């Protein structure tokens, strides 16, 4: 599979990876709600995992509150647990996690990773891996609210420094500290290298 992007394509829809935890600090919810409000104001469709709690739910609620659109992509087993958001513009039900993640990548023009736990980290690392291999060429923004991702970014920098990654790989994502900055950066819409496999392995 290969998700190609047209150069200078406008950002009409953005996938958001985000925590489903409702126990986290208010600063994270504030940033999530701000991002959702901005999506609505800028007519950007929010694509996410379709959950009703945590930052995922907060982004969706804000988008809908301000008149925007949200497409939730959720596996059947999660829906059966009552984890699905009931007021989304559109709900897509998948057979499992792999189909969910593929559709999250396919249906948007860029992605933004908000702070999150294992599931969010899995989604972020996988989409970066796909980009390294040329399977995904769209913009990736990491929203580093409250310096949440700083340790991960330091680890990735070390991986590059110690030659586990090519130096070009550090340009696969961009880092933002506010929702406004995240949207500005993905709107640059830089297309990934045409032949990434030439330096995918060192």
Structure confidence at residue 8 (pLDDT)? 46
CB 94 within 8 A of CB 74: yes
Question: Which pTM value belongs to this model?
Answer: 0.92
Single out the residue of 184, 196, 181 nearest to residue 4, CA to CA. Answer: 196
**pLDDT exceeds cutoff 70 at 93:** yes
pLDDT in tens, 148-186: 999 999 999 999 999 999 888 999 999 999 999 999 999
CA–CA distances in Å: residue 15 to residues 65, 154, 160 = 18, 24, 26
Structure confidence at residue 202 (pLDDT)? 65
CB 55 within 8 A of CB 32: yes
What residue ranges define each of the domains in the chain, with the CATH number in brackets?
13-195 (3.40.50.450)
Structure confidence at residue 38 (pLDDT)? 98
**pLDDT exceeds cutoff 60 at 102:** yes
Joined tokens for residue 87:
């007021």
Mean pLDDT in residue range 114-132: 97
What is the distance between the alpha carbons of residues 4 and 127, in angstroms, rounded to a whole number?
Answer: 14
């Amino acid at each position: 599979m290969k998700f190609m992007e047209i150069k200078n394509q406008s950002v009409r829809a953005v996938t958001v990876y985000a925590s489903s935890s409702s126990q986290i600090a208010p600063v994270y919810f504030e940033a999530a709600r701000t991002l959702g409000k901005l999506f609505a104001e800028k007519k950007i469709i929010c694509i996410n995992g379709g959950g009703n709690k945590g930052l995922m739910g907060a982004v969706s609620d804000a988008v809908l509150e301000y008149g925007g659109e949200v497409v939730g992509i959720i596996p059947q087993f999660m829906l059966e647990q009552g984890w699905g958001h009931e007021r989304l513009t559109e709900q897509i039900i998948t057979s499992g996690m792999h189909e969910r993640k593929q559709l999250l990548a396919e249906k948007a023009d860029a992605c933004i990773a908000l702070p999150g736990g294992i599931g969010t980290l899995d989604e972020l690392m996988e989409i970066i891996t796909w980009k390294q291999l040329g399977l995904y060429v769209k913009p990736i923004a990491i929203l580093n609210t409250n310096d949440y991702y700083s340790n991960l970014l330091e680890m990735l920098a070390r991986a590059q420094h110690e030659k586990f990654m090519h130096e070009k790989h550090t340009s696969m994502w961009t880092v933002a500290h506010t929702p406004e900055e995240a949207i500005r950066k993905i709107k640059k819409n830089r297309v990934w290298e045409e032949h990434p496999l030439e330096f995918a392995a060192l």
